[in-house]
Amino acid sequence: MTARPGLWITLEGGDGSGKTTQAELLEAWLGDAGRAVVRTREPGGSEVGQLIRDIVLHHRGDIAPRAEALLYAADRAHHVATVVQPALDRGEIVLQDRYLDSSVAYQGAGRVLDGAEVRDLSLWATEGALPDLTVLLDLDPAAARVRLDSADKPFDRLEAEKLDFHTRVREAYLALAEAEPERFLVVDAAASARSIADLIRARVSPLL
């Protein structure tokens, strides 16, 4: 990806790790500092993406693993080309819930697909676009499950996966963070929302 005037931050973590809360807090803080922020997410950050989101999260029955990986990659390709890159070109801050690390962790954790291949697929889809910072909210899947249960919402296809699947997702995320320490900030998602927000701000400040 070519040099860009904006700043691109992605949030990653298991279901129930508190990404939405942190995205809201960070958006408010950046807004108070007078920065233009685009809040977006995958899957579903564009109109085409909404249609893809509906398939990957709500289709009844199985989707072949390679088809699922391609659907996420298709969503990502369109999202980066039509939402993320234009905002970065305008010099704005893109604050995004989930990106290619989600694909490596989730699609790779099913054990059928190779994580490196899944990553290469996404990099092809986005012409190699990588965020400036990726915040990983790390949480024990059993603790996340308690949070999701208390939220009282029906589970989507991936949330309904078994605990050992989510344990593999967590391990994959931690391995990704270890491989790219300069891109990742790993925070303990069991800490208070306020203290997590402080850690994120400290890492974001010098990037502004």
Q: Which residues bind ligand TYD (CB under 6 A)?
A: 15, 19, 41-43, 57, 72, 97-98, 102-103, 106-107, 156, 158-159
**Three-state SS for 41?**
strand
Shortest distance in whole angstroms from residue 99 CB to ligand TYD: 7
Least separation in angstroms between CB 7 and ligand TYD: 20
Cα–Cα dist 56/156, whole Å: 9
* Least distance (Å) between residue 98 CB and ligand TYD: 4
Give 6 or 43: the residue with its C-beta nearer to ligand TYD.
Answer: 43
Q: Could you tell me where the DSSP H helices lie in the chain?
A: 19-32, 47-58, 65-79, 85-89, 100-109, 115-125, 141-151, 163-179, 193-204
Complex with ligand TYD: residue 22 or 103, whichever CB lies closer:
103
In this complex, which beta carbon is closest to ligand TYD, that of residue 33 or of residue 171? 171
Cβ distance to ligand TYD smaller for residue 35 or 81: 81
124 exposure class (CB count in 10 Å sphere: 0-12, 13-18, 19+):
exposed
Residue 13 CB, nearest distance to ligand TYD (Å)? 8
Encoded tokens for 127: 């012409």
Looking at residue 185, its amino acid is: L
Least CB distance from residue 18 to ligand TYD, whole Å? Answer: 9
| CB 46, CB 96: distance < 8 Å | no
Nearer Cβ to ligand TYD (6/16): 16
Determine the Cα angle at 87 with ends 177 and 106, to 5°.
Answer: 30
